[in-house]
Amino acid sequence: MSFFNENSRDKIYEEMEGKQPSTKGSVVAKILSIVLLLSLGFASGSIYSTITNNDNTEEAVSSDLPLIDNFTPVSSSSTTTVSPNSFSAVVDKTANSVVEISLYTTQSSMMSSYSYQAETNGSGVIISADGYIITNNHVVEGAEEINVILRNGDEYTAELVGTDSKTDIAIIKIDATDLSYAKIGNSDNALVGDFVMAIGNPLGKLGGTVTYGYISALEREITIEGKNMNLMQVDAAVNPGNSGGGLFNANGELIGIVSAKSTGYDVEGLGFAIPINDISDVINDLLTHGYATNRPFLGVKMSDAAQPSTINPYGNSIFDFFYQQMQYGARIEEVYENSPADEAGIKVGDIIVSVNGNVVSSSSDVSSEISNCEVGDTIEIGLIRDNRTKTVKVTLVEYQGEK
């Protein structure tokens, strides 16, 4: 379709060729008018399209979007309202319930009898308004002083309420009130692919760090320090110091306690958490009794130890003088009165090197072997005493807390 008739077009051509120079200004004005009319037409279409798109955008912002769609704002406008189900909203519901934990333990040098204090760090989750906190047993094990730092920076000294090495769970308490605490969820309802969020204190210096991802697998059988545990596998970033922190679902409910990370130069995205349903009975036992019921008890306090051995593994005595290795084990620091160990004749200074024929190289190895036994089991413990080996039989009883 043409916007000009034939006569008008010929007239314009004649004017442009200079046949009627006295009317050039008029012709140019007419051309500019036509161009302006065309521009206004296109602009009107654009304006209508923009208005229509803006209306659609406002409708999208106000609609009830799925959680995953709200991770990225749908508009860059500063007035955009974030959905109540957004990622930040879940953080707001949970982050104040997660604490930093720092503590001091006495460590023994493996090359001598020298002892020193070492600081370790972890995380914990507040489970009551009056200051009860759940964490990992390995975070607070052997602690002489436990310090807790809340998200707002308040610091407290915590007391140990109870521990259970078998499930790697411990309860500590601070003297505080009106605390934000975690809402307990149902880990049995968790599915592979569900959104999860981990909050903790990675590296012992970055308290309140939030990472998120998905459940990668359920009921992974993982061996940690000699203990077999069924854990939830997640791809949320987990680092040293996250232990004892919370794993939350999309509703902000606590469904797991972060326990371990698989490490290695070629390992990425492998974190593990203890499902909350698996430890609910233990938590109640620790809160009620201060210990987990039906746990076997040896009755000793141990530390990691090492002593030199000149046993030649090649069986040729001519090389005995030159061959030396370190024999590791668990040194007995204290024997509790009337305990199974006391009745079996175990003494302070003995070094445990085997349990039921399984070689142990540290106190945690011994604890792991004991935790895999049942109350009433009779076990054989291999000792080194005065540079001589000795085997004793011990009948385990139920642990009932520190006497």
* Active site residue ranges: 138, 168, 243
Q: Please state the three-class secondary structure of the chain as a single string.
A: CCCCCHHHHHHHHHHHCCCCHHHHHHHHHHHHHHHHHHHHHHHHHHHHHHHHHHHHHHHHHHCCCCHHHHCCCCCCCCCCCCCCCCHHHHHHHHHHHEEEEEEEEEEECCCCCCEEEEEEEEEEEECCCCCEEEEEHHHHCCEEEEEEECCCCCEEEEEEEEEECCCCEEEEECCCCCCCCCEECCHHHCCCCCEEEEEECHHHCCCCEEEEEEEEEEEEEEEECCEEEEEEEECCCCCCCCCCCEEEECCCEEEEEEEEECCCCCCCCCEEEEEHHHHHHHHHHHHHCCCCCCCEECCEEEEEEEEEECCCCCCCHHHCCCCCEEEEEEEEEEECCCCHHHHHCCCCCCEEEEECCEECCCHHHHHHHHHCCCCCCEEEEEEEECCEEEEEEEECEECCCCC
